Amino acid sequence: MAGVVDDKILGIIDIKDKETEENNNSIQNTLVKEEGSQGEKEMAHAAGNSIHRSGSRPQLDVSKAEIQSNVEEKYPTILLPNQSDDISHLALDIGGSLIKLVYFSRREHHQSANDKRKKSMKERLGISNGNRRSYPILGGRLHFVKFETSKINECLDFIYSKQLHRGGLESRYSDGVTNQNAIIKATGGGAYKFADLFKERLGVSLDKEDEMSCLVAGANFLLKAIRHEAFTHMEGHKEFVQIDPNDMFPFLLVNIGSGVSMIKVDGDGKFERVSGTNVGGGTYWGLGKLLTKCKSFDELLELSQKGDNRTIDMLVGDIYGGMDYNKIGLSASTIASSFGKAISDKKELEDYRPEDISLSLLRMISYNIGQISYLTALRFGLKRIFFGGFFIRGHAYTMDTISFAVQFWSKGAAQAMFLRHEGFLGALGAFMSSERHGLDDLMVHQLVERFPMGAPYTGGKIHGPPLGDLNEKISWMEKFLQKGTEITAPVPMIPPGTTGLGGFEVPLSKGSALRSDASALNVGVLHLVPTLEVFPLLADPKSYEPNTIDLSDHGELEYWFTILSEHLPDLVDKAVASEGGTDDAKRRGDAFARAFSAHLARLMQEPAAYGKLGLANLLEMREECLREFLFVDAYRSIKQRENEASLAVLPDLLMELDSMDEETRLLTLIEGVLAANIFDWGSRACVELYHKGTIIEIYRMSRNKMRRPWRVDDFDAFKERMLGTGDKKPPPHRRALLFVDNSGADIVLGMLPLARELLRLGTEVVLVANSLPALNDVTAMELPDIVAEAAKHCDILRRAAEAGGLLEDAMINTLDGSKENSSSVPLMVVENGCGSPCIDLRQVSSELAAAAKDADLIILEGMGRALHTNLNARFQCDALKLAMVKNQRLAEKLMKGNIYDCICKYEPAI
């Protein structure tokens, strides 16, 4: 697995090959350069080269979509076999203060040759491939970007630089086909105000959509589709709320833009604007600009962080000589009148600190929005109130103020909730209005959020032209991080209980303790993966939580961050070595270390910045950072050496096992799995063992130390199910799914012999392995070669591998129909849809979901899959969880035990 640092990351299938994306960007930059002095002229007449679009409204048809790639491909793509039209790539919400963009990126591929092994396996599992060669392969991502409306030219430059008005850089528009009537979906008042400017600069028309309809459609989609979208925020503490899509309505949607609209939402397309106020974000910015001379909304918010409103606001204590007004329940620190002290103070405007003015103004407007929202909800009997709009923009003080207002006036009966994509509701709704992109049919398990490191996605004030290639990304990051700006140095939240109580209490903190997220979006890129499914054998998918360790505890968070940081230099060395140790590899290795460290720093300051955080998410982010800088398989050579060493001694191990009686052999096999699981390059303690002996010596030492009872020891119950008692012989399992872990001894000397025993008993075996590399974990691409080598020494494995299409000769003969299928039960390999030692069973590949439908035994092996995640998961079939604990803190916290304790947890089907 990946132990202590199960240092690998949930790399759920990335639909877009980053290297190809960078190459496409480089090609586009070259094309733009070649235009030379005609560049501006070309931009003004962009319609002349616009990509041809279908006359009817385009749509994204995700029916029968599936992951498609040759096993040699780094990043699998998605085939949309029923997709015939180009889809709209861009939608905007142009407000009075901000322009919000939602754009879709995709890429077409030429079809590579089908992989015969996968075809054989899919036919056996009943997965239809369709006619792959007849259709383009489309990958998809949704991006979120914002600009100030006053800087609309920057927005236009951004759209042009990415060719979003032409269908994106990925589109093939060099065939000379043009469309003089290209259209961009848009909503908000600016869709009317700036229509002529878009036509003049980009040669496109803005197709205007109703603002309220877009807001509601965007909110409904997010609440249904994004798992950690809604959250509460009280006293600086953010807590995510899971919304049941079947019990969402009705609710009140409060959109705080320049003004405020309050919308009662009763269902999809069913809503009514029931109230509103003209005192909103525009009021705050407008008055703030007049009173403080701030040049931007963000500057005004940042100013409020250093303010003390008591110099301007009149408090109850000011009226009653420092006393509370207990009779009506008002404390001395309650605001009696915003800006009330300015009446009696003999001061001019310049005598007041801008910081105090900004804070007082922010409290006044936020408090009143919260109060009016609750009264509106009360009028219609609504308990849920969702707040959105870029006035909030993740600002802790603003959310606390609104939350306390709602709690205070409702006496706790109503709850204020906020949305991570709060400012993009309208733009997202406009995007979806393009005649069904299919987004509303996607479910939570089909969307994967990523946080790439580089403009314009995370931090910084650069929106820019896009980064054209990897070198530009590295250069940008080196300069950016050296300045210690927003990514690496966010202002920390003050401890819970000391935040200003939103209009009721005076802030107890001063200086830079409050933090604004205005300049660093807390949303990532949404990868649309229609082929991810919920694992069908979960006993209760709604209550399933993969993460065993909750990092909401700051001490726990700090411990794991330290572990990951300490392991970073060694991982960088391995990654650089895997690429030949070149200067380019060293630079990319340094960039990877900077990027991941920046993410860790960001999350240490605000653990919920990227959604609900578990240890699996940290490991996922780390592996994703490696891939972002083109380190595809950092442990490739190490895995190969360990596989060769283990395969060399496998025949002797199989002979030893065959000499045993059935009961002794089963115990020895389980001991062997636990002993072999010690080989884990993600565990610091295990890495130290590598310096004390060869892989075989360590394996034998580990086996010799197997002493029962183990820390969790359900072996006897498992043995009874497998072998029965006395003369009563239970029927074998129909199909077993073996979630395998590490390369080398772990798979060769541990899991393959166990798989062989199950095959001997008449059980079909499916080896479930990573889709993408993660530390020394074995991948589904590597497994067939390992099985083929092992099969040279074992007839059981050879016949099963032939039946499962894992051996080339048998595979070809079976597919050609020239040979009858083997009578042996098959041994198959499927991808799990991940690139991490941890696995979230709410998001697995369609292949694994198909294989699971006839399975009645699951074996989860390794710390990542059986301890860090899924230790508490329950299944509709028998489940065995096997792992060696390779981290002292984990041993103490989860098992009340010690490092190298063994876990053998058997749970019969529910």
Instruction: Note the pLDDT tens digit of each residue in 55-70.
Output: 333 344 545 555 444 4
Radius of gyration of the chain (CA): 30
DSSP tag of 387: E
* pLDDT for 505: 28
CA–CA distance, 5 with 702 (Å, rounded to integer):
20
* pLDDT for 830: 95
* pLDDT for 270: 95
Which of 96-105, 121-130, 246-255 is modeled with the greatest confidence? 246-255
- Residue holding tokens 């890495």? 687
- Residue holding tokens 């459609």? 217
Burial of 418-441, coded b for 16+ CB within 10 Å and e otherwise, reads: bbbbbbbbbbbbbbbbbeebbbee
Statement: residue 299 has pLDDT above 80: yes
Give me the helix-helix angle, 662-676 and 715-723, nearest 10°. 130
| DSSP sequence for 832-874 | -S-SSSS--TTSB-HHHHHHHTT--EEEEESHIIIIIBSTT--
pLDDT band at 851 (very low <50, low <70, confident <90, very high): very high
Q: Which two tokens stand for residue 636?
A: 């490739």
SS3 label, residue 206: strand
pLDDT band at 88 (very low <50, low <70, confident <90, very high): low
**In terms of Cα–Cα distance, which of 339, 357, 369, 341 is closest to 289?**
357
By residue count, the chain amounts to 910
| Under 8 Å between Cβ of 263 and 212 | yes
**How confident is the model over 821-833, as pLDDT tens digits?**
456 899 999 999 9
| DSSP sequence for 164-176 | GGGT-TTS--TT-
pLDDT band at 83 (very low <50, low <70, confident <90, very high): very low
* pLDDT for 457: 39
**How confident is the model over 781-793, as pLDDT tens digits?**
999 999 999 999 8
* pLDDT for 7: 31
Statement: residue 408 has pLDDT above 60: yes
Backbone phi, psi, residue 92, to 5°: -130, 150
Cα 686 to Cα 378, 529, 692, 752: the distances in Å are 59, 36, 10, 22
* pLDDT for 687: 47
Cα 817 to Cα 810, 812, 813, 814, 827: the distances in Å are 10, 9, 6, 5, 19
- Which residues are 830's β-sheet partners? 768
More confident residue, 535 or 86: 535
The 10 Å Cβ neighbour count of residue 328 is 7
Torsion angle, CA of 640/641/644/648, rounded to 10 degrees?
-160
- Which residues are 104's β-sheet partners? 142
Instruction: Give residues with Cβ within 8 angstroms of 316, minimum separation 6.
Output: 324, 325, 330, 331, 332, 333, 334, 335, 336
**Which has the minimum average pLDDT: 292-301, 366-375, 456-465?**
456-465
Element containing residue 405 per DSSP (H, E): helix 396-410
Q: What is the mean pLDDT of residues 460-474?
A: 60
Beta-sheet strands, E only, within 499-546: 525-528
* pLDDT for 27: 31
Which pTM value belongs to this model? Answer: 0.80
* pLDDT for 168: 61
pLDDT band at 435 (very low <50, low <70, confident <90, very high): low
Q: What number of CA atoms fall less than 13 Å from residue 514's CA on the CB side?
A: 31
Q: What is the mean pLDDT of residues 455-466?
A: 44
Beta-sheet strands, E only, within 640-732: 712-713
| Under 8 Å between Cβ of 308 and 510 | yes
**How confident is the model over 216-228, as pLDDT tens digits?**
999 999 999 888 8
SS3 label, residue 275: strand
Backbone phi, psi, residue 137, to 5°: -100, 120
SS3 label, residue 239: strand
DSSP tag of 749: I
pLDDT band at 251 (very low <50, low <70, confident <90, very high): very high
**How confident is the model over 8-22, as pLDDT tens digits?**
322 222 333 333 333
Q: Which two tokens stand for residue 890?
A: 């984990």
| Under 8 Å between Cβ of 837 and 741 | yes
Statement: residue 119 has pLDDT above 50: yes
Q: Tell me how many helices (H) and strands (E) the chain has.
A: 31, 25
Statement: residue 338 has pLDDT above 50: yes
Q: What is the mean pLDDT of the chain?
A: 78
Q: Which two tokens stand for residue 14?
A: 């990335």
CA–CA distance, 834 with 6 (Å, rounded to integer):
14
Statement: residue 756 has pLDDT above 50: yes
CA–CA distance, 474 with 465 (Å, rounded to integer):
15
SS3 label, residue 605: helix
* pLDDT for 396: 86
| DSSP sequence for 149-165 | GGGHHHHHHHHHHTTGG
Q: Which two tokens stand for residue 33?
A: 């350069």
Long-range contacts of 19-24 (CB under 8 A, 24+ apart): 19/74, 19/630, 20/107, 21/107, 21/170, 22/468, 22/469, 22/470, 22/473, 23/469, 24/107, 24/169, 24/170
**How confident is the model over 587-603, as pLDDT tens digits?**
999 889 888 888 888 78
Q: Which two tokens stand for residue 901?
A: 């304790």
Backbone phi, psi, residue 52, to 5°: -70, 135
More confident residue, 167 or 903: 903
Beta-sheet strands, E only, within 689-846: 712-713, 735-739, 764-769, 827-831
* pLDDT for 823: 63
Backbone phi, psi, residue 527, to 5°: -90, 125
> What is the strand order of the sheet 902-907 is part of?
712-713, 902-907, 878-884, 857-861, 735-739, 764-769, 827-831
pLDDT band at 51 (very low <50, low <70, confident <90, very high): very low
What amino acid occupies position 14? D
**In terms of Cα–Cα distance, which of 102, 454, 599, 98 is closest to 301?**
98
Q: Which two tokens stand for residue 713?
A: 């020891």
Cα 463 to Cα 145, 159, 169: the distances in Å are 8, 11, 17
Backbone phi, psi, residue 382, to 5°: -100, 135
Statement: residue 534 has pLDDT above 60: yes
Query: What percentage of the chain exceeds 90 in pLDDT?
Result: 44
**How confident is the model over 303-335, as pLDDT tens digits?**
998 899 899 999 887 887 777 666 666 777 778
Q: What is the mean pLDDT of residues 379-400?
A: 89
DSSP tag of 326: G
CA–CA distance, 478 with 313 (Å, rounded to integer):
44
Backbone phi, psi, residue 559, to 5°: -60, -50
